[in-house]
Amino acid sequence: MRFSSCYIPTLKESPAEAEVASHRLLLRAGMIRRLTAGVYVYLPLGLRMMDKISKIVREEMNAAGFQELLMPVVQPADLWKESGRWEQYGKELLRFKDRNDRECCLGPTHEEVITDMVRGEVRSYRQLPVRLYQIQTKFRDEIRPRFGLMRGREFIMKDAYSFDMDVPGAEQSYKSMYDAYARIFQRLGVGFRAVEADNGSIGGSFSHEFMVLADTGEDTVIFCRNCDYAANVERARICWTGEKAGRPCPPCRDISTPGAHTVADVAGLLGVAPAKIVKTLVLLADGRPVAALVRGDRELNETKLKNLLNARDIKLAAPAAVESLTRAPLGFAGPRGLDLPVYADLELQGDTDYVTGGNAADTHTMHVDLSRDARVAVFADLRNIAPDDRCPVCGGEVSLRRGIEVGHVFMLGLKYSESMHAAFLDEKGRERPMIMGCYGIGISRVAAAAIEQNHDADGIVFPPSLAPFEAALLCLDPDNAGARAAAEKIYALLPRLGVDVLYDDRRERPGVKFKDADLLGMPMQLVIGAKSLARGVAECKDRRSGEKGELDLDNFESAFGRWARRVRDGWNEGAQGS
C-alpha cells in the first residue's frame, strides 16, 4: 500500500483519555478511534492487524479439526431462560425488546445458541464429536470498560465449542484446543503462561486461562519456580501444612482501641504483628449475611468463599449493614458472639491468642482462641495465595506476576447439555447428554496485550506475525527520479517475496517518515534516498533491535532475503511460552 493513499491518521501527542501503552499507541498509530465508552472503530491499519491475528487463529483452529461458522449477535431471551443464565448473567448482558415486544439480548457468548443448534441436528453418537468455532463481535455491558481494547464492551472474540459423546472424547477436544492455543500465542510472539483458573459464570468443571504477562494486566497469576504449577490467584490452592495449635491462651479480654479501624492501626496501637490479628469481613452471599475470617496480613479470596457457599453472587456488605449486624462501626467486627455463620481461613487454625474486633465501638478483644471463643462453621482455604506460600503441588517457592487474560478453555461437562437437553442416542440406544467444552480467545485483547508487551519510547514494536504490514519502505526523496525509481522497484518486488509493505511515498520531510515508521512499528524498515542511492544501497533497520545495515541494490533480492530471515529469526528466538 502507498502511504499517500492510506487513511492512517497518526497523532503526535497522546490523547488524554489513554493511560496505558497499548491504548495510547493504538490511538496514536491511527489504528482505532473511540466511538463511545468501551466501543471502538477499527481503522484500516487496526483492521489489518486483527485480520493477521484472525488468520493465525483460523489456521490453528482448522488444524485442530474445528470448523468455522458464524452465529448472530442478536439472540432470543428464551434460550437464555432455558439455560438459567437470563437470571444469572446480570447487567453485563445487554437486554432489549424488538418491535413485537419480544425480549432479546446482544450475545456476550454463544453457548446457548450453539447448543440449541446442535441439539436440533445431532441425534446419534455417530454424528459426534461436533467441533465448531467462529470469530465474531461480542457485546458485554462491562461495569468498567478500560484501557482501550483491553476491556472493551464491544470486542472481537474467537469462540469455539465441542460436543463429545464421552469424557475421554471431551478431554481430547479440550487437549487439542489447549495445544492449539499454545501454538497460536507462540506464533503471535507474545510471552504467555497457561494457568489453572476458576470457571466463573460460564460454569463447568475445570478450565485454564492463557495469560500474557504484563504489569498492566488486571489479573494476578502465581507460578511455581520449581515445577510447572501455575494458576490464577482466584483459583490457586493453598497448601497449609501447619499443625493445629493446641497451645492454651489466657481468657479473652476487651481492650479500648479508639479510632483503630484498620489492621495497621490496631497492630501499631497494641504492638502486635498483623499476623496475630484476625480480620473479620461481613459479606452478603446472595443477600444472606456471612462473616469471613482471615489473618490480618492476608486477603480474602471472594471467589473461594463464593464457591464454598455455592453462592451465585457475593459482595462486601455496605457499612450500614455491617453496623447493624455487628452492633459496631466498621472496623470493629469480630467473630466472638457474632450471630452470623462464620467461615475462617484454614491458616487461622495454626495459632491461638489472636486479636479480633470486639463488636463494640472502639473495642478489640485480646487472647482469642477461635475454637474456644467463637463458633466457626468451617475452616477452609479462603484467602489469596501470597509470595511466602508454597506451591500446592511440589512445595516449591512461588512467584506472583500480573497478567492479561487472552484466552480461556473450559471443560463445561453437562452444564448446558443438561439444562438445554442436548442429548444423543449411544450405541445401545440409550439417551445421554453431550459433553461440552468451550474455548475463547479475545482477538482484540490479544492485539492490546501484544502491544503492551512489545513497544518502546518511539512506538509499537510489532511481532511480524501480527504487524499490519511486515515492512515499511521509506522514500526520502520522492522528487529525485533515481530514488523514486529504486523505491518503486522494491515496492513492486516485496509482495512477490511474500512481504506486505507500507510504502511511504508522501511528500513529507524525512523526519516525519522516520517518526511514523517507528510509531507504526513495522518489524522491517527499508530506506531509499538520494544519499543511499549514491552508494548503491537501500538502508535497512530492524525495528526491534534498532540494528541498521545496508542492502546492495544490484543484488537486492538475495540481500533482502538474508536480512529478512535474520529479523524473523530474532523474533522466533524471543518467543516464549509454556
Smallest gap from residue 336 Cβ to RNA (A): 27
Can you give the length of the chain in residues?
578
Which three cell numbers, joined as nine digits, stand for 322?
455491617
Per the listing, cell 530471515 goes with 565
- Which residue lies nearer to RNA by CB, 211 or 422? 211
CA Rg, the chain, in Å? 29
CA distance 36 to 23: 15
Smallest gap from residue 77 Cβ to RNA (A): 19
Smallest gap from residue 204 Cβ to RNA (A): 10
Which three cell numbers, joined as nine digits, stand for 98?
424488538
Per the listing, cell 475470617 goes with 293
- Which residue lies nearer to RNA by CB, 338 or 527? 527
Smallest gap from residue 107 Cβ to RNA (A): 12
- Which residue lies nearer to RNA by CB, 50 or 370? 50
Smallest gap from residue 237 Cβ to RNA (A): 18
Smallest gap from residue 143 Cβ to RNA (A): 4
Q: Is the dihedral of CA 165, 166, 171, 172 positive or negative?
A: negative
Smallest gap from residue 554 Cβ to RNA (A): 17
Phi-psi region of 568 (alpha: psi -120 to 50; beta: other; left: phi over 0): alpha
CA-to-CA separations, 382 to 301, 337, 343, 454, 464, in angstroms, rounded: 6, 21, 8, 36, 44
CA-to-CA separations, 571 to 181, 299, 458, 523, 525, in angstroms, rounded: 19, 39, 19, 9, 15
Cis status, amide bond into 129, omega within 30 of 0: yes
**Pairing mode, if any, of strands 471-475 and 524-528?**
parallel
- Which residue lies nearer to RNA by CB, 375 or 531? 531
Smallest gap from residue 537 Cβ to RNA (A): 9
**Pairing mode, if any, of strands 455-456 and 459-460?**
antiparallel
Alpha-helical regions (H) of 126-210 = 167-187
Smallest gap from residue 541 Cβ to RNA (A): 6
Smallest gap from residue 247 Cβ to RNA (A): 34
CA distance 6 to 192: 34
- Which residue lies nearer to RNA by CB, 482 or 495? 482
Q: Is the dihedral of CA 171, 175, 181, 182 positive or negative?
A: positive
CA distance 183 to 261: 50
Which three cell numbers, joined as nine digits, stand for 138?
461480542
Smallest gap from residue 470 Cβ to RNA (A): 18
CA distance 326 to 324: 6
- Which residue lies nearer to RNA by CB, 273 or 534? 534
Residue 115 contacts residue 419 (beta carbons within 8 Å): no
- Which residue lies nearer to RNA by CB, 201 or 419? 201
**Three-state DSSP class for residue 134:** strand
Which backbone phi and psi does 411 adopt, to 5 degrees?
-90, 105
- Which residue lies nearer to RNA by CB, 22 or 280? 22
- Which residue lies nearer to RNA by CB, 519 or 524? 519
- Which residue lies nearer to RNA by CB, 129 or 442? 442
- Which residue lies nearer to RNA by CB, 98 or 456? 456
